[in-house]
Amino acid sequence: MPNVVAAGPLAGITVLDLSTVGPAARCTHLLAGYGASVVKVGPVPTAGAEPIVPPFFSYSGHRGMRRALFDLKDALGKEAFLALAAGSDVVVESFRPGVMGRLGLGYDAVSARNPGIVYCSTSGYGQDGPHAQWAGHDLDYLAVGGYLAMSGPGKHEVPPLPGATIADAAAGGMQAALAITAALAGRAATGRGSYLDVSVADGVLWLMSLAIDEQLALGGDVQPGHDVLSGRYACYATYGTKDGKAVAVGAIEAKFFANLCEALGCGDLASLQYDDGAQPRLRDALTEAFGRRTRDECVEALAGADTCVAPVLELGEVVADPQFSVRGVVGIATHPEHGEVRQLAPLLAGMPRPEGSVSLPDLGQSDTEHLLKEAGVDGETVARWVAQGVVA
């Protein structure tokens, strides 16, 4: 039976996910959080096959998902996959452009069996263009989309590594999930499925759209430090504190910056907020003021006083933060091998929250036989496919 957390707005939607990690896996993790029934599709165990196996805690331990194994290079294995796809709503794949087509399992083949299928291909650079076959990971897509260059120089005068896989999670995973849900809404009106070409690099351009649209509209040379959001002014920056920690200051509006300066004892500097010539003076004053206090002293005095100050929290502090505790973002799950583990609960708006502990699937087990029978394949055929090793 499916390992379902709770009903949600995508309840009744079945997703076949041929990915293991990366943007596509982020996408289906989101869809599962909204109640979709996700089936992780992998290869049958064969000599020399070494599929990527993420750590047991990754992607919330594949909470609410099932698993099916096919030999997609064998004609019968393809037939088995198509039988499952015929009764599904969504297929998500993340192979190099052209791979699924060469296997005979691209959009044309699947939609011939299931005209309502929403078929989503996620790739680094999209299905066409001179870079379509480039290998890459999160950092590469942030590089070509301008994100790293706009992050400014760090150690050794090169852009710093981001603290999260922003391209995979937002530019790729969230883009794919949004595109899929929009396509499902369209299908509800027309009855027709669709093909989605999700380029992670394109998604980075969307994340960078404020800066890129400025570059396109005004020309010039948009660089780090050219405006308030990229480090030009002291009112929008991070500052070190007495205890070696840091705070973030986002006092863009005049009233918030005035409140900050007043609370730090330098109220006479508030009028200089956007005076370019005064920025070194402002930075020195704020650096000195924050440096006299610990991070928590700064937060205690400033965070609730309309100053747009927040603590820079380490991950151990994040998971213990009282704000997040009240929001109930951490839940309990039971893993078949590792026992009870804490993990982020379904926390985005509209995701149903489970009550109590949820069970995580055993990824060493397969649901293929049950899924194929559920899809209408007779038991004798399924047994023959299993015996022939084209499904497992």
Q: Which residues are catalytic?
A: 137, 168
Is the Cα dihedral 277, 278, 282, 284 positive or negative? Answer: positive
Q: In 3D, which of 155, 133, 159, 127 has the Cα closest to residue 146?
A: 159
Residues 6+ apart with CB under 8 A from 210: 229
Q: Name the token pair of 155.
A: 């150690």
Contacts of 125 (CB under 8 A, 6+ apart): 131, 132, 134, 136, 144, 199, 200, 201
Pick from 48, 37, 47, 34: nearest CA to 15:
37
Spatial strand order of the sheet with 358-359 comes to 339-344, 330-335, 358-359
Biggest CA-to-CA distance, the chain: 84
Residue 101, CB half-sphere, CA atoms under 13 Å: how many? 8
Nearest to 328 by CA among 306, 359, 353: 353
Between CA 347 and CA 329 the distance in angstroms is 6
With contact defined as beta carbons under 8 Å apart, do 147 and 207 qualify? yes
